Structure 1
Amino acid sequence: MARHVARRDPRAHWILLLLGLIVLLAALSFNGLVSHVGGGSGPSTAPAAPAPPQLTTGGPVLRLDGPTPVARRLPARTLALTFDDGPDPRWTPQILDVLRRHHAHATFFVVGARVDEHPELVRRILAEGHEIGSHTFTHADLGGLPAWRARTELSWTRNAVAAATGREVTLLRLPFSSTTNSLSQPQYQALRDAAGSGHLGVLADRDTRDWQRPGASAIVQAAIPPGGGGAVVLMHDGGGDRSQTVAALDQLLPRLSRSGYRFTTVSAGIGEPGSTVPAGLGSRLSGTALRWAQAGAGGLASAMNLLLGVALVLGVARLAVQVVCARRHVRRVRRPRRGPEVTAPVSVIVPAYNEAANIAATVRSLVASAYPALEVVVVDDGSTDGTADIVERLGLRGVRVIRQANAGKPAALNTGIRAARANLLVLVDGDTVFQPDTVYRLVQGFADPAVGAISGNTKVANRRRLLGRWQHLEYVIGFNLDRRMYDVLECMPTIPGAIGAFRREVLLAVGGVPADTLAEDTDLTMQVLRAGWRVSYEERAIAWTEVPASLRQLWRQRYRWCYGTLQAMWKHRHALRESGAGGKLGRRGLPYLTVFQLVLPLTAPAVDVFALYGLLFLPWSTLVVAWLGLLLLQAGTAGYALRLDRERFGPLWALPLQQLVYRQVMYLVVVQSVVTAVIGNRLRWQRMVRTGEAAALAGVRPGAPVNAAGRGGRPY
């Protein structure tokens, strides 16, 4: 019911948001892929058929690019020490130091992702005369991967090494491979495929199984070939604690040197020149871009971890503050009220636009109020469904109907304020049903002359369906706990349109109900605070209201609320510099709204993507425990809030589903509202379709004629 004319709603931002979330998930997944790199040389996957016999009984160096496989061995008393899973910033330098101290050379099969993290170590390996080979980019079992993924693993590793050193690797050792007699058919096929891109396969004669940490002495014994033969020895410089490997190496080198062994690289051991070749410009550029992407993905993951941590801390802190303030509010409410009983005349103003479904119940509930002096002013704002006629047919004493052309809810309220006879005014939505004691309880706070306005307790009438239950929980847990907190902190930003009481002098002083924002109730409440008045909350003044019954209606309502709240926050931003009640709004209420109703909801889609990333890459047990812990904390808070509002605990079963569905809808509403505000679109009023469930609560059939004159209040 408003005059705002809207331009076409923005749509492109949803595509941008979706693309952004996809990019975020891709970046996080890439980081998960490269940061959860395993280690070791244990069995690959399920048991598989063995490779051809000429390979399982042949040498460990395999050339498979020809029609006939060629397997080569190292000569006697020649040892090619090989180290997998590095480079590691702790263990690789220690191993290099031991090798240098004993004048030995070795071959390092590096993991591409770790090369990107520590390119300086790869350069040191080459600078000290050692050899490097590929161990895939993410320590992946190539024998169990599709061909495209296997090619990517090898290509990315070559590019990573090229960017770090200017050289490309040709040696390849498959992760989870070991000695020749353990080579499986899938691994053999993976080596055959890799040979097509110029890779030379390297297995081992001696597997020390140092990744199992059997002790330095056991590692030494496992590395020594029998009978003075030559061997390729498998060890590790990354993937875990390699202190035993370092100690074993320091024992093995002098021991075998005294026995006439020489320690060399794999290529030198078989009489071939160095295995690395100069890298082309394309490989170097691709590797550099890959390193930047990996670093960016890692930084993004760290930022998301920080964001999630901050969000969790703020969320827990918010719950704690809400509960503490609620307990203080309860003690305050239970104290005997000071000051005289308030019985001054009250005018209830009901702006109505096409409220035929509920208006009869609303008016009947008002005139049935147990209050000594009450009038009801219904302002029909150009309704087309006979709203005013329904009220007039009721024939209730103390009820006036004012008709006007459609001008919007603020204009209707201001019309009612001008026509009202009392100095205490209660503003009520046309779909709201009061209890008999609501008006009385609502206005008792005016016994304190510092109080300029009072918020009542809005409850959901149509809560039988799941969406209604979710909103019921939101009203009780979010809105009402927040209102108790705001009351204690004296920074109430919103008196809901469904139920609020004001002094006439306050409304006149602030210029009436403002019409330049869509959240006129929030705007008005902030103006009252900035005028120096206190705004309080009366939880016992209960009003039953009808909430949206479909997601579409919910979206439209909350879109308007959120957009209007943003308008009001911006309009009253100067309260930050004010003193008194306005300063409390500016330094308490506005920051709270900014953090919990703007910033955190805007980041929520990214947090949800991070949760999906966690499902893919983190232990499920950890995630389940964390989620259950947060859910139990929320359930405990919800139970406390329900008890404070004297509500049953039954709706708590809908809380987990609310976190999975309803929460996301509310966050997307914030995104839409912010985008609308940023691009300068003007949002029109989004009116909710009434179903009459609030009327059903009061036992009144919508539009039914009522002949009784009503009871309770004395008309004046």
Structure 2
Amino acid sequence: MTNRRRGNAAPSRRHSRTRRITPRSHWLLLSVLAVTLSTALLLQGYTHHTFGIASDDATGARGHDGAVPSQVVHGGPVIANAATTPHTARVKARTIALTFDDGPDPVWTPRILDVLRRNHVHATFFVVGTQVVAHPDLVRRIVADGHQIGIHAFTHPDLARLAPWQRSLELRETQLAVAGATGVTTALLRPPFSSRNDALDDADWSVIEQADAAGYVTVLATRDAEDWQRPGVDRILANATPHGRAGQIVLMHDSGGDRSQTVAALSALLPRLKAQGFRFATVSDAVGMAAPVQPTGLGDHLQGLALIRVLQAGDWLVRLLGLLMYAAGAISVLRTAVVLVTAHRHRYRRLRTRRRGWGPPVTEPVNVIVPAYNESAGIEAAVRSLLASDHPVEIIVVDDGSTDGTAYLVESLHLPVRVIRQENAGKPAALNTGLAAASCALVVMVDGDTVFETDTVRTIVQPFADPRVGAVSGNAKVANRSGLLGRWQHIEYVIGFNLDRRLFDLAECMPTVPGAVGAFRRQALLAVGGVSHTTLAEDTDLTMALCRDGWRVVYEERAKAWTEAPASLDALWRQRYRWCYGTLQAMWKHRGALVQRGAAGKLGRRGLVYLLLFQVLLPLLAPVVDIFALYGLLFLDPLRIIGLWLAFLLLQLVMGLYAFRLDGERPGPLWTLPLQQFVYRQLMYLVVIQSVVTAVSGSRLRWQRMERYGSLRVPAGAEVPGTDFPRQDPGLPQQYPYETQ
């Protein structure tokens, strides 16, 4: 957690040539990508999951049939001119037109084609558009083998239940898919769930009339093998075998499920019917129709190819997103388990450490450096809380060119505080000024908008009894947590920051000592050249430098500091944007730790990898995950998606309850956790996107000072020197030095 601060340090000559305008075009690009992804998923979802291929008995009861012409009801199975003067055609005597619906299928269609080839039989295949898109090579093989193509709608819906525009879309998209895959168009149509002429009702007839107006000839069946029910090979043979010499259009299926019985029955049916004197022909040949399949125009062929490529890309995208979601989910669950286990171990390790101590008690005086830029709203509370410490402190307030009288305010208090003024040069320069003026071996750094509890300084310096420790991170807590945004940040501090710090402490790879509450060996700071101004996350940069220099950095959760959090979304955005961007800078600056040994290697291969994975890559995937979740609600199993979300939320809640228990916090704010997932989470991943784009584009972000609210109070019970000063409301628990107003 970095500090929220102030005016820019004087840029170096190299940085002065760097572009300082924050890029905005990437938001347009992100919006375009989001819309493109959403459109692709909507199209893919519609074509694959809106209806799906169902059994041929899936439709409801038959309706009224008063509008169906009697000559159609009692006529042949091929219907033409339905919209004007309907007429039908019957199949020639001793002729069988084999038809196959619902394909092509990568398993069963090739086997059926092999059987037809061995028996020198040509058939008619009524294909489903989505199957054509998925397997265009099979459609090309059907045509190349001399078989006839008809269309069977795009998503296999009951066309009679659709609006007219949806029917047109189904037929047009299927025709384009066939044109793109084979270079031909067909005038043959078999509506899904259709059967014989005498089964037509008024709704079915409206479909046939609309199809006729679009140039299609409707092909029904005279015998249904009912192979979709898988009744057994003998039953399929009986259903498909004609009685007498009349010609037949036989309905079978090459997709929609296990078609092994169909293949076996077809192998026996063809030689049997040939032996009985039947010949096999395509539908058009069987009824004497002019060629219904013609070469397509260039425009339709190109549109069809584009449709196939777009939908294939959508299929690939859905598979990829599915894999990413599973991977992200697995990694998140693994992270949760690791964080909880390490937090538990860290707790008991700290209990053992407290019993035996870090070593001899550290009682030597400590310099407390308070960099201040326009901190008049909270500086008095901060200084008085430091002076109330039960450990000897020497306070240095470095006024970094404030324009609101911060330095004058501190001096007017007539407290034992040293005030140093300097021209505005940035927080790192202010800290280095304080460090140069410090006389103690230990230094505590604290923000000007932060108050300490009475024992914070004493607690945070005790780990320095171990000579290997170079820095100690305290426990920064949100003071103004009364509003919804404050509660969300409070949850984030307790669950996110503090659980992670326990993990980093146990793994000896602490990447950040927060500017709000951190303690350092002055010797260690001087050894790494003080506080660097080359990144906006000076606390993260400094901590990584100490780790690479061989110092151990630990976390002391009992050293509490209360800080003001942003009270508006705009302020929160600016703060987190700077934090994230600065962290990226620090990670890049210290990337060499990945190949180093010792403490530096632990930072690189543990700390940096963890930050990259969970604070950069996963947030970058978050928008895609959210879009895919909406896709799942619309087109997949919504109960399953909701169940997964509730399971994830439950996991977060369990982690939150344990984290709040470790921090001694009341769990009441956790009721806002579900809302946090819908608003706060989205804001945070947009911050990461903005930061990554800014970093990659080479732009440089300016310091942005956070608005102060003056809500901090000195902890109750502290012996505060000087005159009267507002303390904590005595009605509030004493461990919470903040207001609820």
Bin for the TM-score computed over the shorter chain:
over 0.9
Stretch moving more, 570-579 or 465-474: 570-579
Q: Aligned Cα RMSD in Å?
A: 2.5
Aligned pair partner of 2:412 in 376, 393, 411: 393
Q: Secondary structure at the match of 1:122?
A: helix
Q: 2:498 aligns with which of 467, 480, 485?
A: 480
1:361 aligns with one of 364, 370, 381 = 381
Matched, 1:654 2:672: yes
User: Deviations along 1:493-527, whole A, 9 cap, x unmatched?
Assistant: 11111000001111111222111211111111111
Residue in 1 that maps onto 2:56 = 41
Q: Does 1:319 align with 2:336?
A: yes
- Deviation of 1:633 after TM superposition, in Å, equals 1.7
Counterpart among 3, 6, 10 of residue 8 in structure 2: 3
Amino acid paired to 2:340: V
C-alpha change, 1:181 and 1:395, in structure 2 (3 Å) is farther
Does residue 464 of structure 1 match 2:477?
Answer: no
Cα shift at 1:652 = 1.9
Query: Which residue, 217, 221, 240 being the options, matches 1:223?
Result: 240
Cα deviation 1:14-54 (Å, max 9, x = unaligned):
11101101111222233333444424323547975534233
Amino acid at match of 2:8: R
Distance 1:45 1:14 in 2: 49
- 1:21 partnered with 2:38: no
CA distance in 1, matches of 2:669, 2:243: 74
Deviations 1:472-505 (A, max 9, x none): 1111111111111111111111111100000111
Q: Distance in 2 between matches of 1:698 and 1:306?
A: 53
CA contact (8 A) 2:7 2:705 kept: no
Aligned partner of residue 403 in structure 1, secondary structure: strand
Counterparts in 2 of 1:653 and 1:214: CA distance versus 1, 3 Å: farther
Residue 520 (structure 1) aligned to one of 534, 538, 541? 538
**How far apart are residue 228 of structure 1 and its match?**
4.9
Work out which of the residue numbers 292, 297, 305 in structure 2 matches 1:280: 297
Structure 1 residue 632, shift from structure 2 partner: 1.6
Distance 2:54 2:694 in 1: 50
Q: Show CA shifts across 1:410-467 (max 9, x none).
A: 1221222222232111000111121111111100000110110000011111112111
From 159, 174, 178, the equivalent of 2:191 is 174
Q: Pick the aligned partner of 1:242 from 249, 252, 259.
A: 259
| Gap change, CA 1:693 and 1:185, over 3 Å in 2 | farther
Contact 1:393 1:705 in 2 (8 A): no
**1:350 aligns to what?**
370
Indicate how the Cα distance of structure 1 residues 312 and 707 shifts in structure 2: closer, same or farther if over 3 A, else same: closer
Match of 2:326 in 1: 309
Of 550, 564, 570 in structure 1, the residue corresponding to residue 568 of structure 2 is 550
CA shift, 1:254, in A, is 4.7
Q: Tell me, what secondary structure is at the counterpart of 2:96?
A: strand
What secondary structure does 2:708 align onto?
Answer: coil
Q: Does 1:529 align with 2:542?
A: no
The CA deviation at 1:686 is 1.5
Q: Which residue of 2 aligns with 1:713?
A: none
Task: Please say if residues 360 and 695 of structure 1, whose CA atoms lie closer than 8 Å, have aligned partners that are also in contact.
Answer: no
Look up the match of 1:133.
150
Q: Aligned residues: percent identity?
A: 59
CA distance in 2, matches of 1:146, 1:495: 63
Cα 1:698–1:282, aligned 2, differ >3 Å: closer, same or farther? farther
* Distance verdict in 2 for CA 1:252–1:422, change over 3 Å: same
Secondary structure at the counterpart of residue 712 of structure 2: helix
The C-alpha deviation readout for 1:285-311, integer Å capped at 9, x for no partner, is 222222222222222222212222221
The one-character-per-residue Cα deviations of 1:548-588 (angstroms, maximum 9, x if unpaired) are: 11111100000010111111111112222322222221221
**Take 2:520 and 2:27, find their aligned partners in 1: how far apart are those partners?**
41
1:686 aligns to what?
Answer: 704
- SS class of match (1:98): helix
Counterpart secondary structure, 1:506: helix
Q: For structure 1, list consecutive stretches of 5 or more residues without a partner in the other structure.
A: 709-716
Counterpart in the other structure of 2:507: 489
Letter in 1 for 2:408: D
SS in 2 for 1:694: coil
Partner of 2:393: 374
Deviation at 1:354, TM superposition (A): 2.0
Once residues 451 and 433 of structure 1 are traced to their aligned partners in structure 2, the CA distance between those partners, rounded to angstroms, is: 24
Amino acid aligned to 2:281: T
1:213 aligns with 2:230: yes
CA contact (8 A) 1:60 1:202 kept: yes
Tell me the distance in 1 between the aligned counterparts of 2:37 and 2:489: 31
| Contact 1:350/1:430 (<8 A) preserved | yes
Q: 2-side partners of 1:234 and 1:96: how far apart?
A: 16
SS at match of 1:693: coil
1: CA distance between counterparts of 2:490 and 2:134?
Answer: 51
Q: How does 1:416-495 map to 2 (within 5 A)?
A: 416-495=434-513
CA, structure 1 residues 184+414, in 2 after alignment: closer, same or farther (shift >3 Å)? Answer: farther
Instruction: Find the counterpart in structure 2 of residue 714 from structure 1.
Output: none
Q: Is the 8 A contact 2:22 2:700 kept in 1?
A: no
* 1-structure distance, mates of 2:232, 2:723: 93
Q: Cα gap change, 1:265/1:456 in structure 2, threshold over 3 Å: closer, same or farther?
A: same
Structure-1 separation of matches of 2:479 and 2:110: 70
TM-score under structure 1 length normalisation: 0.93
* 1:506 and 1:528 in contact (8 A); partners too: yes
- Say whether 1:154 aligns with 2:167: no
Asked if structure 2 preserves the Cα contact closer than 8 Å seen for 1:357 and 1:695, the reply is no
1:270: Cα distance to partner? 0.9
State how far apart, in whole Å, the 2-side matches of 1:154 and 1:681 are: 51
Is the CA contact 1:394–1:707 (under 8 Å) kept in the aligned structure 2?
A: no
**Given the alignment of the two structures, is residue 115 of structure 1 paired with residue 132 of structure 2, yes or no?**
yes
Q: Against the structure 1 CA distance between its residues 379 and 140, is the aligned structure 2 distance closer, same or farther, given a 3 Å change threshold? A: same
TM-score calculated relative to the size of structure 2: 0.90
SS in structure 1 of the partner of residue 679 of structure 2: helix
Distance between the aligned counterparts of 2:227 and 2:366, measured in 1? 86
Matched to 1:291, the amino acid is I
Which has the higher mean CA deviation after the structures are superposed, 10-19 or 219-228? 219-228
Q: Does 1:383 align with 2:402?
A: yes
Counterpart of 1:53 in structure 2 is: 69
SS in 1 for 2:665: coil
Partners of 2:154 and 2:171 within 8 A in 1: yes
- Counterpart of 1:370 in 2: which secondary structure? coil
Letter in 1 for 2:406: T
Letter matched to residue 379 of structure 1? V
Counterpart secondary structure, 1:512? coil
The 1-side partners of 2:237 and 2:54 are apart by 20
Check whether the contact 2:513–2:540 (CA below 8 A) recurs between aligned residues. Answer: yes
